[in-house]
């Protein structure tokens, strides 16, 4: 099977990127991260890419299509990427862009629901469960076809950070499963 060429877009710490890199290095995922691109020049995710000799660069969101095309990826993974992809990227890579979101979409998603804000809202609403979702990216925010979801319990004494940690573990797991599902679809 042809090696799957994966472009990963990050804006922050990059633990989801790290999960992809580790899975490839542990032979749990057959693929190659061809680039790590970020709209945040200080993103720790860029350092993670560089540590593994992966081309890692700051790219303005408006220049993302040109930057991606240089690497001709088979799929694009938004791993904590906070900008909204431009039309031209969605059009060129439709059906081949994945996003990982830290809630059970359609709950707690869309404009303003990202990072710790998601977990704060879940706890403020006294939810007894939360989770993570891997979905295809379309023109909307967190609205594309859902590929995989997994639930976690929310405990009464959870802080948003406790919940974020528990959900992040699930994110790292289902993101790899989502990449494998997408590979079979394209
Ligand atoms: C994760 O919570 C992810 O679900 C959300 O942004 C965060 C990124 O974390 N999209 P990291 O940068 O992968 O550690």
Closest Cα to residue 7, out of 41, 40, 35, 32? Answer: 35
| 75-97 pLDDT tens trace | 999 999 999 999 999 999 999 99
CB 129 within 8 A of CB 146: no
CB 58 within 8 A of CB 38: yes
| 115-148 pLDDT tens trace | 999 999 999 999 999 999 999 999 998 999 999 9
Peptide bond into 106 cis (omega under 30): yes
Q: Which atom, in ligand 1's list, is nearest to the CA of 99? A: 10
Among 9, 11, 16, 161, the mutation site with the greatest number of ligand 1 atoms within 8 A of its Cβ is 16
Ligand 1 center to 5 CA (angstroms)? 21
Burial of 103 (0-12, 13-18, 19+ CB in 10 A): buried
- The H-assigned helical ranges of 29-133 are 44-51, 64-71, 87-92, 116-124
Q: Where does the pLDDT of residue 1 fall: very low under 50, low under 70, confident under 90, or very high at 90 and above?
A: low
* pTM for this predicted structure: 0.96
- Average pLDDT rounded to a whole number, residues 3-10: 97
């Amino acid at each position: 099977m042809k090696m799957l060429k994966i472009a990963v877009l990050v804006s922050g710490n990059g633990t989801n990127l790290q999960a992809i890199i580790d899975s490839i290095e542990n032979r749990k995922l057959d693929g190659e991260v061809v680039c790590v691109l970020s709209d945040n020049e200080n993103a720790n995710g860029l350092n993670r890419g560089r540590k593994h000799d992966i081309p890692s660069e700051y790219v303005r969101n408006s220049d993302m299509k040109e930057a991606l095309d240089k690497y001709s990826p088979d799929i694009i993974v938004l791993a904590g990427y906070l900008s909204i992809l431009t039309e031209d990227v969605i059009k060129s890579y439709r059906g081949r862009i994945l996003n990982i979101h830290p809630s059970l979409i359609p709950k707690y998603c869309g404009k303003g629901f990202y990072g710790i804000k998601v977990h704060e809202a879940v706890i403020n609403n006294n939810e007894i469960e939360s989770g993570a979702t891997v979905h295809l990216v379309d023109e909307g925010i967190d609205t594309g076809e859902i590929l995989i979801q997994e639930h976690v319990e929310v405990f009464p004494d959870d802080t948003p950070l406790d919940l974020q940690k528990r959900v992040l573990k699930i994110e790292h797991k289902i993101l790899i499963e989502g990449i494998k599902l997408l590979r079979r679809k394209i």
